[in-house]
Amino acid sequence: MKRLFPLLLLLLIAACKKEKVNPAQTSTFCIQSAANGANYTIKVALPDDYDAAKKYATIYVLDGKDNFDYVAANAKKLSNELGKTNALVVCIGYGNDRAVDYTPTDAKEGDGGADGFMQFIKNELVPKMEHDYGADTQRQSRTILGHSFGGLLAAYAFTNYNSVFGNYIMLSPSLWYDNEILLKLEQEHRQANQANPQLVFMGLGELENSGRMQAPYAAFLQRLQQNYPGMKIDSHIASQLDHMGSKNPNILKGLRFYFQNKASN
């Protein structure tokens, strides 16, 4: 037992180790948005052997402050494992409160600034990434990843800004927001979006039992599965995990799905 103790301690430390990205492979800049006036800090994780002359796919990550290290480290790991070229991981920091930027309408729980935020991404951030970092200009090469209100924004990007992103990783999306406004928006934009080729990954925690997460998720998933012939879709319910607990396991599942199915190598 005495011999086992250091080994167990090492395993515990290894299990608690937080993913870190090599600072030499990251780049940070700020943008004052013309669309909504907010000041966003953007962190970019560059692939190994990054060459500005090449074209790279991009993964835009919401709640960037919290998710940068985890997403960047695992994108690198999974792309290596699957033999795919890694993407530029672009993490968007908070310019406004997330209840402003990530919510599509003005309701009790949020202020409805998603339109301004999407304008910022579409007209300012994406062009800057293409110009300064060699980001691929095709819709199919761009992914948006968000959790909770971030997942709601990813769903809003899918319905209302489908020309911007070709891939969506929506984790525990707050589809209950404003009496399920996203279901309404999906219905309104279905005809325009349904033929587009796209990858969609949806994830949820099995124990998200707050009485608002499961049914709208099932309704949205069902609609996507039934009405979008151009879409490749997957869903994962993380066993025994709740809202925050399911986030990282579902990020892994979502990134794996993306790298396995992305358009180019």
Q: How far apart are CA 110 and CA 182, in angstroms?
A: 14
Q: How near is the Cβ of 206 to another protein at its closest, in Å?
A: 5
Residues 11-70 that bind another protein (CB under 8 A): 63, 66
Near another protein by CB under 8 A: residue from 137, 209, 225, 261 = 209
* Residue 249 interacts with another protein (CB under 8 A): yes or no: no
User: What secondary structure, in 3-state letters, does 173-184 show?
Assistant: CCCCHHHHHHHH
Identify which range of 73-81, 83-91, 179-187, 255-263 contacts another protein by CB under 8 A.
179-187
Number of residues that bind another protein (CB under 8 A): 38
Q: How near is the Cβ of 31 to another protein at its closest, in Å?
A: 22
Near another protein by CB under 8 A: residue from 161, 176, 258, 259 = 176
Identify which range of 26-34, 36-44, 243-251, 252-260 contacts another protein by CB under 8 A.
243-251
Provide the 10 A C-beta neighbour count for residue 139: 16
Q: How far is CA 186 from CA 61, 193, 222, in A?
A: 22, 9, 12
Where do we find the tokens 């925690």? 205
* Residue 93 interacts with another protein (CB under 8 A): yes or no: no
Near another protein by CB under 8 A: residue from 76, 142, 243, 253 = 243
Please tell me what DSSP assigns to residue 222.
H
Q: How far apart are CA 110 and CA 8, in angstroms?
A: 45
Query: Quick one: 142 or 247, whose CB is closer to another protein?
Result: 247
Residue 127 CB partners (closer than 8 Å, separation 6+): none
* Residue 178 interacts with another protein (CB under 8 A): yes or no: yes
Identify which range of 113-121, 128-136, 171-179, 188-196 contacts another protein by CB under 8 A.
171-179
* Residue 216 interacts with another protein (CB under 8 A): yes or no: yes
* CA Rg value for the chain: 18
Tokens of 18: 């937080």
* Residue 217 interacts with another protein (CB under 8 A): yes or no: yes
Query: Quick one: 104 or 166, whose CB is closer to another protein?
Result: 104
Q: How far apart are CA 46 and CA 90, in angstroms?
A: 9
Identify which range of 82-90, 123-131, 161-169, 218-226 contacts another protein by CB under 8 A.
218-226
Q: Determine whether 31 is exposed, middle or buried from the number of CB atoms within 10 Å of its CB (0-12, 13-18, 19+).
A: middle
Provide the 10 A C-beta neighbour count for residue 153: 30
* Residue 142 interacts with another protein (CB under 8 A): yes or no: no
User: Could you tell me if 73 and 157 are in contact, meaning their C-beta atoms sit under 8 angstroms apart?
Assistant: no
Terminal C-alpha separation, the chain = 48
Q: How near is the Cβ of 32 to another protein at its closest, in Å?
A: 23
| Site residues (vs another protein, CB under 8 A) | 63, 66, 98-99, 109, 148-149, 174, 176-180, 183-184, 187, 206-207, 209-219, 222, 239-245, 247
